Amino acid sequence: MLAFLPSALPVPRAGLFIASAVYAVGGGLLEVLVSPITEALPFQDKNSKMSLLHSFYSWGQVGVILLSTVFFLAFGIGNWRILACIWAAVPLLNGIFFMFVPLYKLVEEGARMPVRKLLSMRKFWLFALLMVCAGSIEQCVSQWASAFAESGLHISKSLGDILGPCMFALCMAVSRLSFSRFGERVDLRKSLLIAAAGCLVGYL
């Protein structure tokens, strides 16, 4: 969609916006689907395992940025549509593999909450708002870091992407991996408060 929609519509920006919205929703659905699957697995320390799971998102982001940068250096940024088609194969194959994965049930039969009741809970909307804000600020800061490096340090886009979004994702991956290893030794509530305060100061 990203490779073809901008050129198919009279306004290319509209095509980019629609394609970006679609794969953003896909990324959100992946988050919503994979986390409960991991939660249902019979692990002892689920917080650590969940942190390890989420680190793979960051490692994947690092890999995508580095491999895309190598592709652009080798074949030119004008061939970005080809790269978009190559990356589209990843979720396609994931969807095929997912059809054959055995799943544990997170809740017992008859204990599920109806969607209407879930949507009526204030706590649900609070957490939904938190997820939207957290995801938005994460992407905003990582992209801003790239633009800042390019304009402020007067470097190329390739190097700016590596110093910006790539380093941002790498730090996120290392912190999540570290928590998966040593998370049981720390106070989770205190750690979250410290992290939240640090993010607030950094973003401001």
pLDDT of residue 68: 93
* Mean pLDDT calculated for residue range 80-85: 92
pLDDT of residue 107: 61
What is the per-residue DSSP string for the chain? -TTTHHHHSSSHHHHHHHHHHHHHHHHHHHHHHHHHHHHHS--S-HHHHHHHHHHHHHHHHHHHHHHHHHHHHHH-GGGHHHHHHHHHHHHHHHHHHHTT-----SS-TT-PPPHHHHHT-HHHHHHHHHHHHHHHHHHHHHHHHHHHHHHHHT--HHHHHIIIIIHHHHHHHHHHHHHHHHGGGS-HHHHHHHHHHHHHHHH-
The whole-model pTM stands at 0.78
pLDDT digits (tens, 9 = 90+) for 107-138: 655 567 788 888 899 998 998 898 888 877 77
pLDDT of residue 38: 80
pLDDT digits (tens, 9 = 90+) for 159-198: 888 888 888 889 889 988 988 888 777 787 888 898 889 8
pLDDT of residue 106: 64
